[in-house]
Structure 1
Amino acid sequence: MHPDAVFKALADPTRRFLLDVLRERNGQTLSELCARVEMARQSVAQHLTVLEAANLVSTARRGREKLHYLNPVPLHEIQERWIEKFERPRLSALSAVKRRAEDAMTGKPTFVYVIYIESTPEKVWQALTDPELTRLYWDHRNVSDWEVGSGWEHQRLDGGVDVVGRVVESSAPRRLVTTWADPSGAGEPSRVSFDIEPYGDIVRLTVTHVDLADESERQAVGQGWPAVLSNLKSLLETGHVLPEAPWAMPV
C-alpha cells in the first residue's frame, strides 16, 4: 500500500476518530460506529470505504453483520520506514501491551489477516476447498463436501489428521466459515472465516481466526497464516508455490 493513501485517509479527523473507536473495541458494525459519530450513515460508510482502500480497516462477515477491524499493518510499515531502529523495541513492547488490552475487552484472542491476490473469487474459493490444490501450497488436504453442517479434515499428506471441524457457513465463492478443533477433542474449538471480495481487478482475501485459546496460540497462527497465504498467492499468480515453504524457514 502506497503511503500517500494512508496519509490521505488519516488527514480527516472523522476517519481518525473512527480508527480510535475501533482501537477501543475492534470488530464493530456500521450501526455501532454510526452511534459514535454525529453524521449520516451514508457519510460514515464513505469514510470507512476510504479507510478500507488505505488498508487501515479490514472487514469480515458474521452472519448478516459486517464487522470492521483496525488493521495496523500500514502504520507499522510507516514506522519501519521513518522511525529509527533504536525505537523499535520500545514500540514493540507497547504493541504487545495494546494487544493484551484488546484481548481483555473481547474475551479471547483474535487474529485477522488481509492479503491481495491477482485472481478471481472463484479461483480463490477453489484453492481453499480443493484438497488437490491445498496439498500444493499447504502440505495438507482440506477434505469436505463444504456443505453447512458437514465435517471437514485438515489431512497431512501421510494420511494423518491435524485439525477437524464443522462447516458453519458456505457461500461460494465469497465466504467460508469453519470450526477448528484438535482431533483428540482436547480444548475448545476456534473458528476461521474466509471472506473473498472482488477488489477492482484483483481479490481481497480476509482470514479471521477467532476464539483462540491464548496469546501463545495467537502468536502461532500469526506466523502460520501469513506463510500459508503467501504460498497460496504465489500459486494462483504464478502457477508455482514459493521455492521454499515459508513455515519451514528459520524465523
Structure 2
Amino acid sequence: MPTETDAVFKALADPTRRYLLDRLHEQNGQTLGELCERLGMARQSATQHLGVLEAANLISTVRRGREKLHYLNPVPLNEIQERWIDKFERPRLRALSAVKRRAEDAMTDKPTFVYVTYIEASAAKVWEALTDAQLSGEYWGHSNVSDWKVGSGWEHQRTDGSAIADVVGTVVVSNPPTRLVTTWADPATPEATSRVTFDVQEYGEIVRLTVTHEDLPSQAEHDDVASGWPAVLSNLKSFLETGHALPQAPWEMAH
C-alpha cells in the first residue's frame, strides 16, 4: 500500500520537480508564471509537476487575489532525513560531503563570463555573422576563419591584410544555426586555453544570443573579456539590425 513517504520519493525522483523545489528554496511564494519563466516550460506541464509536489505535501499554495502562490514545505524532507539519514554516521557523511564539495570547487575555480543579448534577426543570420569570414570582419575587426566542422581549427584573423591570427582554437561543437563551441587561445600561449559557447535561440522575429566564455586562465583575463564581449556583441547587434556596424569601434571605448 503506497504511503506518504512513497509519494515524496516519487515526487523527488523527477529532476524537473527537484528543480522546482530548488527555485522555491531560493525564493518562496512564486506564482505559476514566475516558475514557468525560470523553467522554460509550458504552463500545463509545470502545473502537472506542481500537482505531484503538492500531493506529496512538498509544497503548499496560497491564493492572493487571482494569483496562486507556491511555498516550499520542508516537513516531509525533514521526516525522510530523520528516518533515512540520521541513523547512519552523520559526521562521516558530512566529512565525505565536504571533501566532494572541495573537489568540485577545485575543478571549477576558473572564472566564467556569460553575456546575453537580444537581436532582431533570424538564427540563421546570427550564425552566418558569427562564422562567415567576410561578415565577421565587418563588425568585429577580425575575420573568423574555419570550415566549422567538429575537430577543425579556427582562426581569429586581423582584417588589415596581414591575416595574422590573434586567437586560435578548435571547433568542439557545431550545430548550425543554434550552437557553436570552440576552444580559444592566444597563439603565443596555446597552453592557456579557454572555451567559448554561442547559443542562439530563436523566438519569433528575434533571437537570444548567449555567449559563455569559461575556463578563463585568471581573473584579469575575465575582466578583459568582460569589457570586450559586450562591445563586440553590441556591434554585431547593430550590424544585423541596421546593416552597418557602429560608427566607432566600441571595444576601443571599452578599453
TM-score range, shorter chain: 0.5 to 0.7
1:127 alignment partner, one of 129, 135, 142: 129
The aligned counterpart of 1:168 is 172
- In structure 2, how many angstroms separate the alpha carbons of the residues matched to 1:161 and 1:139? 12
Aligned to 1:33: 19
Letter in 1 for 2:227: Q
Match of 1:217 in 2: 221
Correspondence 1:246 to 2:232: no
Q: CA contact under 8 A between 2:228 and 2:254: conserved in structure 1?
A: no
Mark the structure with the bigger radius of gyration: 2
The runs of at least 4 aligned residues of structure 1 exceeding 6 Å deviation read 43-46
Question: Aligned pair in 2 of structure 1 residues 104, 223: CA closer, same or farther (>3 Å)?
Answer: farther
Aligned residues: 171
Q: What's 1:138 paired with?
A: 140
Question: Matched residues in 1 for 2:155 and 2:115: separation?
Answer: 22
**Residue number in structure 2 paired with 1:236:** 240
> SS in structure 2 opposite 1:33?
helix
Distance 1:163 1:109 in 2: 19
Residue 107 of structure 1: SS of its match in structure 2?
coil
Deviations 1:121-143 (A, max 9, x none): 00000000000001000110100
Tell me the SS of whatever aligns to 1:108. coil
Structure 1: runs of 5 or more not aligned: 1-28, 54-102
Is 1:184 aligned with 2:188? yes
Q: Tell me the SS of whatever aligns to 2:22.
A: coil
| Aligned-partner Cα distance in 2 for 1:132–1:52 | 38
Aligned to 1:77: none
Residue pair 2:154, 2:171 contacting (<8 A) in 1 also: yes
Bigger mean CA offset, 205-214 vs 153-162: 153-162
Aligned mates of 1:45, 1:167 — CA distance in 2: 40
Match of 2:210, as an amino acid?
T
Match of 2:37 among 46, 50, 55: 50
Alpha-carbon distance between aligned partners in 2 of 1:148 and 1:35, rounded to the nearest angstrom: 38
TM-score, normalising length from structure 2?
0.60
Cα distance in structure 1, aligned partners of 2:20 and 2:176:
30
Secondary structure of residue in 2 paired with 1:112: strand
Judging changes above 3 Å, is the alpha-carbon distance between structure 1 residues 193 and 35 closer, same or farther for their aligned structure 2 residues?
same
Contact 2:231 2:254 in 1 (8 A): no
State the 1:37 CA deviation.
5.9
User: 1:30 touches 1:45 (CA, 8 Å); kept in 2?
Assistant: no
Q: Give the RMSD, CA atoms, in angstroms.
A: 2.9
Matched residue, 2:98 = none
Deviation at 1:33, TM superposition (A): 2.9
- What is the deviation of 1:201? 2.0
Q: 1:209 to 1:38 in 2, by over 3 A?
A: closer
**1:207 and 2:211 are equivalent in the alignment:** yes
Deviation of 1:183 (Å): 1.1
Which stretch shows the higher mean deviation, 221-230 or 43-52? 43-52
Tell me, in whole angstroms, the C-alpha distance in 1 between the residues paired with 2:24 and 2:253: 49
